[in-house]
Amino acid sequence: MENDLKQWSDRLRLETCLCLIHAKGGHIGGSMSIVETLAVLYGKQLRVDPQRPHWDERDWFILSKGHSGPAYFAALALRGFFDLKVLQTLNADDTILPSHPDSLKTPGVDCTTGSLGQGISQAVGVALALKHQHKPNRVYCIVGDGECNEGQVWEAFQSMVANHLDNLIVFIDNNKGQNDGATKTIHLELNFEPLMMGLGFYTQVVNGNDVVAIDKAIDQAKQRVNQPSVIILNTTKGQGLPFVEAMASNHHIAIDEDIKTKILNALGAKEPA
């Protein structure tokens, strides 16, 4: 399984990059930092049926940091929700893959996100509804560390604890960067572990580029009863592409021929025909 998940993450990183290359740019930094987590979710953990995107017994996934949609779309394509060729239409006219996830356009997208802070709030609402209906479905949500500047995020976290939402697992992508630069220069670089523990979460901290560690953390979180779980992912913005990791500003970049060549070289890939 370890090799399978590693292969999943490698393929997911490649398809995400090819998608961004074809679009000539996009939100590469935050897309790369969640590749391994998406690989574990869509490669193993999520109970979904690509032939029935709205299957009543499915697990829900909500990408609160919606600007990382390219990685999400690539995961959906690899899981079989739509053809991989569709990834080449990112941000194009009449595409089903807009800049941010849209549940009315993209098969497999459960909630429209993009306005930061609102995805986690939707996740809480879905998890609470499932609880009231006595359904076993689980909800998974990825939140960005920069997104945690939003007060709405902390209201949602408090609601999770107050309502004992053990069917909701939150991931905080602690890549230490956001739109305007390093998180510590914009606001506060939060120490999430004591904060989340203090709120009452079952809290785990893992290396966000380790698919095995992420997988094990999810398994442990699923064992909790009457307590919500958070998995803090220590990641790097641009993860897996060293030259992007080293960029001072890599939240959103334009991809010219030089950058394209560097990306493909970093991944050991050839330009697609």
pLDDT tens across 118-165, in order? 899 999 999 999 999 999 999 999 999 989 988 999 999 999 999 999
Predicted pLDDT of residue 180: 66
- Compute the distance between CA of residue 153 and CA of residue 171 in angstroms, rounded to an integer: 12
Partnered with residue 182 across adjacent β-strands are 177
Q: Which of 161, 162, 254, 169 is nearest to 206 (CA)?
A: 169
CATH of domain 2-267: 3.40.50.970
Tell me which residues of the chain have a pLDDT lower than 70. Answer: 1-2, 179-181, 270-273
Decide: residue 241, CB within 10 A, 0-12 exposed, 13-18 middle, 19+ buried.
buried
Predicted pLDDT of residue 169: 98
The CA-based dihedral angle spanning residues 167, 171, 172, 178, taken in that order and rounded to the nearest 10 degrees: -120
Q: Look at the pTM and tell me if it is higher than 0.85.
A: yes
Domain positions in the chain are 2-267
Predicted pLDDT of residue 178: 74
Decide: residue 52, CB within 10 A, 0-12 exposed, 13-18 middle, 19+ buried.
exposed
Q: What letter represents residue 181's amino acid?
A: G
In the chain, the largest separation of any two C-alpha atoms, in whole Å, equals 54
80: alpha, beta or left? (left if phi > 0; alpha if psi -120 to 50) = left
Predicted pLDDT of residue 75: 98
